[in-house]
Structure formats: C-alpha cells, structure tokens
Amino acid sequence: MTDGMARVETCDLAVIGTGPAGMAAAVAAAELGLSVVAVDEQSVPGGQIYRNVLASPVAARLGPDYGHGAALAAAFDAAEGISRRYGTTVWTLSADGEIGLRGERGDIVLLRAKAVILATGALERPMPFPGWTLPGVMTAGSAQILLKSAAVVPADGVVLTGSGPLLYLVAAQLLDIGVRPGAIVETTPGANYRAAARHWRGAAHGAATLLKGLKLIARLRVARVPMVSGATGLSAEAGADGAVARLKYHCGGRERSVACSLLLVHQGVVPNVQISRSLDLPHDWDAAQRCWRPRLGEWGDTALPGIFVAGDGGGIGGALAAEEQGRLAALAAACRLGRIDEQERNRRADAPRRALAHHLAVRPFLDALYRPGDDAVVPADEVVVCRCEEVTAGEIRRCVVDGCVGPNQVKSFIRSGMGPCQGRMCGLTVSEIIAAARGMPVADVGYYRLRQPLKPITLGELAQLEEVAQ
Ligand SMILES: Cc1cc2nc3c(=O)[nH]c(=O)nc-3n(C[C@H](O)[C@H](O)[C@H](O)COP(=O)(O)OP(=O)(O)OC[C@H]3O[C@@H](n4cnc5c(N)ncnc54)[C@H](O)[C@@H]3O)c2cc1C
C-alpha cells in the first residue's frame, strides 16, 4: 500500500525498457557519468529475448543466443550510477521528459528526466483468423515467456502455425525441453522465397544468422516434427469442451487438418509504438515489414529534442542490433547533456555503428522472406479483430461502407481499440482492413491516435498526483 502521495524524482537520463537496447544504453550512459533511471514492467532485466536470463531454471537449455544476454544483464546489474526500477510501468510521458511511473504496489512516481531513451521493444503481430480467440490458442511468444520466466512447459499436442524465425526457435526450444511439437504449419507465401533471393548479398553478410535458422529447421526435421509449408486459409476449431481441438488449413489444393490441444500462433514481431505514438511523433509505414515505425535520425533521435528510440521499438532489427542502437542513443544523450562533445561522441560511435551495419545487413532478406501475405493480415468478416471490445472484421468493413475513412472514426463508431490493450492487439489489422476495403495504401489510412495513460491505472493512483500539482 502507498502513503497516497506521488514522489517526484529527477535524473539525467531515463531509459524505458531493460531489454538489450535499454541495458546497453543505461550502461553506456552511466559510464559517461549520467545519472540513469532504468525502468521495466518485468521483475528482472532482459526484455523479451533475455527474459529472466540471470535466474531462469531452464537457461542452459534455451540456446547460446539466450546465454549471450547473461553477460549484458550482469554488467547492467553491476553498473554504478543506474537506479533500476523493475515491476514498474511507464503510464505517461510528456514531451519535456516528465514520466509517470507506477510501481507494483500502485505507488506513483513522477520522474523528471533531462533525456529519455524509449527502448520498449517489439510486440508479436496480431494474427486474426477464425478460431484465434478459442481457449488453447496463444502466441508462440507467450509460450516462450512461460518457459523462460517460470519453466512452464506445455503438455503434448502442441501445434505451431504462422511464419517467422521465432516460430522455429520456439519449436526447437520446446523440443530441447522435452516437448515434441505435433506439427509446424508454416504460412510463408511461396512468392516470398523469390523476393528474398534478390537480397542474397545481405544474406551472405548475415550468413551466421541464416545458418542458425537452418540448424533449427534441421533439428526439427531430425526429430521428425511434421512440417507443412505454404499453408493458407487457417481456422481453429473447438472440441466438445470448447477449447481448441483442431487446426484446419489449405495446402496443395486440398483442405487438411491436424489435431491439437494447444495452438501456438506467430506472424513475426512489430515495433511497440505505443509511447512514440502517444507523443504524436511522426511515424512511417514500413512496407517491407508491414508495420509502423517512428521516424528516427542516425542516433535514434526523434522530432522531440531529448527523446530517443533504440532497439526494436524503432524498427525490427533483432537483439544484437538493439544493443548497438542503445549505445548510440546513449552517446547522443550524453552529448546533448554536455557530458561529451560531438567529436568524442562520433569517435565512440565508430565501433557500434560498424557492428550495427553488420547486424542489419541480413534484414532485407529476412523482411522479404517473412513478410506476411494478405491472407495473414486481412481476415474474413466473421473474425473478431478487437478482442477487448469484440469487434469483427465485417463490422469494420461496414463502417468503411458507411463513410469511415480511417481507424479513428472506426474507433468512435464501434469502439475498436478502446479497450484496456489500447489497440496493441488490433491496431495494425484495423488499418490493413480499412486500406484493403478502400483500395489505398496503409500509409494513407493511418493508425489510431493514442492517448495516455498508456496502461490502465486506478483513480486512486491518479489521485496521488493531486498533492504534486498543488
Ligand atoms: C514475445 C517475444 C519473444 C521474443 N523472443 C525472442 C527470442 O527468443 N529470440 C530472439 O532473437 N528474438 C526474440 N524476440 C524479438 C526480440 O524482442 C528482440 O529482437 C529484442 O529483444 C529487442 O530488444 P529491445 O531491447 O529492443 O526490446 P525488448 O527486449 O522487447 O525489451 C523491451 C522492454 O521494454 C519493457 N516495456 C515496454 N513498455 C513498457 C512500459 N510502458 N513500461 C515499462 N516497461 C516497458 C518491456 O517489459 C521489455 O522488457 C521476441 C519478441 C517478442 C515480442
């Protein structure tokens, strides 16, 4: 319980998110003498990829990429000059760096930072298809969260479907933990292979990354996990108990199906733009990755002075790229605050910049290969799109027929995106449906206008600010 009054604190730099980008940024900034507050909703550092890396009971079985995060997290944990706030949610951020924090016990802190690095990472892309809201259907990333944070392992009868490297990684991690998936039903469109081949030069630079992917697939094949590729027209069906019992799909001109008691779905990851959108920063439609990304300069700088973005929140580049982007943003913040001059900033940026270019070289290949097809992002009329408010794709299309031109009008008409997740689960799909229905690019249709608070807080918690305001 709290004493009912918000505290006010100050720091040079606030880092929101302690994944690879945030941890690297905080360590680099603290080394340059900035006072840093690093905040994360999770109870331990690591972000998505390195979740619970210092304490996971199954760490040794999650592969070398996961292990890489242990050194970074240990350095972050040991660094002086960083105040680490776990179990703490950022629910508001103003353009001048005032951040509303909510601790696990509902205590509110107003943090006034001279510079802010948003390192809030990625979210799994929503993947709506008939039956995706049934009990027993969850994202592959959620299964991985349970595995990393609590060693919770699914029983037999797991089927994975969708597209993207994480699908194979999670399947291989399950295998290593003793759970053999019943099938992997892959939806990558056949045309993507030809499109990706055009980026073979980048792929050659990222040979190590590709080799890792091929090894994962080889492991799954050796374990005789049934794999289907080029599936379309997914639908999940319930059994007598109302939970998922079967995945149906089309492949090779025929309808097929596979039994399952747990269906893990995945269609790639997209930048988490909740905070950058709520600041009304300019965002661009990334046609290659079919997602929005904030418009950034070479240091992760945004249109707001002193506010930077690092890591997957600025565009999906993977964990190693995120680390380097964190270091670059920290250098830029230190320069802005007068700790180093531009010459020193540029000198120190040399190594991270080279490493970043190396890690990003493979992206055009991966983006082309795993770009979701229309089938995966524009669902049929009966499919629920906004899970909070139970709005279907058909209802959204009817709004377009009635004259709605963009997501914000649809939101006002039928409440899609107004629930507690604030559009995280439906935002991209709503924009894609409207764009397809109007026959225009998603870039011209736009996205929800997001308003703070970014995450739900209670009136009592909000009232803690009263004393501060007076
Ligand atoms: C579910 C999931 C699982 C993934 N697993 C893997 C994997 O196993 N291997 C792999 O190579 N890639 C994985 N990825 C991709 C991976 O996230 C990135 O490439 C990498 O972690 C990006 O690092 P980052 O520092 O940018 O962000 P992240 O690692 O995502 O860290 C962002 C952090 O910000 C915090 N945060 C966000 N919003 C707030 C807020 N409002 N208040 C407080 N804290 C906040 C989050 O809790 C999170 O810890 C996964 C992605 C997802 C979505």
Ligand 1 binding pocket includes 41 (Cβ within 6 Å): yes
Measured CA to CA, the distance from residue 261 to residue 263 in angstroms comes to: 7
Residue 206 is assigned to a structural domain of this protein: yes
Ligand 1 binding pocket includes 89 (Cβ within 6 Å): yes
| Substitution candidate for ligand 1 out of 43, 49, 144 with most atoms within 8 A of CB | 49
Ligand 1 binding pocket includes 40 (Cβ within 6 Å): yes
Distances (CA, A) of 152 to 124, 217, 243, 298: 20, 23, 19, 40
Domain identity same for 118 and 134? no
Parts of the chain with a pLDDT under 70: 1-3, 467-470
Residue ending a domain, choose from 221, 248, 267 = 267
Domain identity same for 58 and 105? yes
Interval between CA 22 and ligand 1 midpoint (Å): 10
Domain identity same for 256 and 278? no
What local confidence, expressed as pLDDT, does residue 50 receive?
A: 94
CA atoms within 13 A on the CB side of 152: 7
What local confidence, expressed as pLDDT, does residue 1 receive?
A: 46
Residue 452 is assigned to a structural domain of this protein: no
Domain identity same for 133 and 262? yes
Ligand 1 binding pocket includes 99 (Cβ within 6 Å): no
Q: Output the residue whose Cα is nearest ligand 1's atom 1.
A: 141
Domain identity same for 19 and 145? no
Residue 1 is assigned to a structural domain of this protein: no
Domain identity same for 220 and 317? no
Domain identity same for 274 and 305? yes
Amino acid identity, position 284:
D
What local confidence, expressed as pLDDT, does residue 2 receive?
A: 54
What local confidence, expressed as pLDDT, does residue 195 receive?
A: 94
Ligand 1 atom with the smallest distance to the CA of 169 is 8
Residue 462 is assigned to a structural domain of this protein: no
3-state secondary structure 137-194: EEEHHHHHHHHHHHCCCCCCCEEEEEECHHHHHHHHHHHHCCCCCCEEEECCCCHHHH
Domain identity same for 51 and 146? no
Domain total of the chain: 3
Domain identity same for 95 and 180? no
What local confidence, expressed as pLDDT, does residue 209 receive?
A: 84
Interval between CA 322 and ligand 1 midpoint (Å): 10
Interval between CA 466 and ligand 1 midpoint (Å): 33
Q: Which domain holds residue 283?
A: 7-123+270-340
Interval between CA 470 and ligand 1 midpoint (Å): 38
Q: Output the residue whose Cα is nearest ligand 1's atom 49.
A: 47
DSSP code at position 91: E
Ligand 1 binding pocket includes 319 (Cβ within 6 Å): yes
Ligand 1 atom with the smallest distance to the CA of 140 is 1
Residue 2 is assigned to a structural domain of this protein: no
Residue 226 is assigned to a structural domain of this protein: yes
Residue ending a domain, choose from 212, 241, 267 = 267
Interval between CA 49 and ligand 1 midpoint (Å): 6
What local confidence, expressed as pLDDT, does residue 467 receive?
A: 65
| Substitution candidate for ligand 1 out of 15, 48, 66, 422 with most atoms within 8 A of CB | 48
The model carries a pTM of 0.95
What local confidence, expressed as pLDDT, does residue 118 receive?
A: 98
Strands (E) across 287-334 are located at 291-294, 307-309
Residue 463 is assigned to a structural domain of this protein: no
Domain identity same for 405 and 306? no
Instruction: Give the CATH number of the domain where residue 94 resides.
Output: 3.50.50.60
Instruction: Give the CATH number of the domain where residue 416 resides.
Output: 1.10.10.1100
Q: What residues form DSSP beta bridges with 308?
A: 117, 301
Ligand 1 atom with the smallest distance to the CA of 120 is 34
CA nearest to 449, candidates 292, 336, 341, 307: 292
Residue ending a domain, choose from 250, 267, 284 = 267
Domain identity same for 159 and 224? yes
Measured CA to CA, the distance from residue 115 to residue 239 in angstroms comes to: 53
Domain identity same for 135 and 198? yes
Residue 113 is assigned to a structural domain of this protein: yes
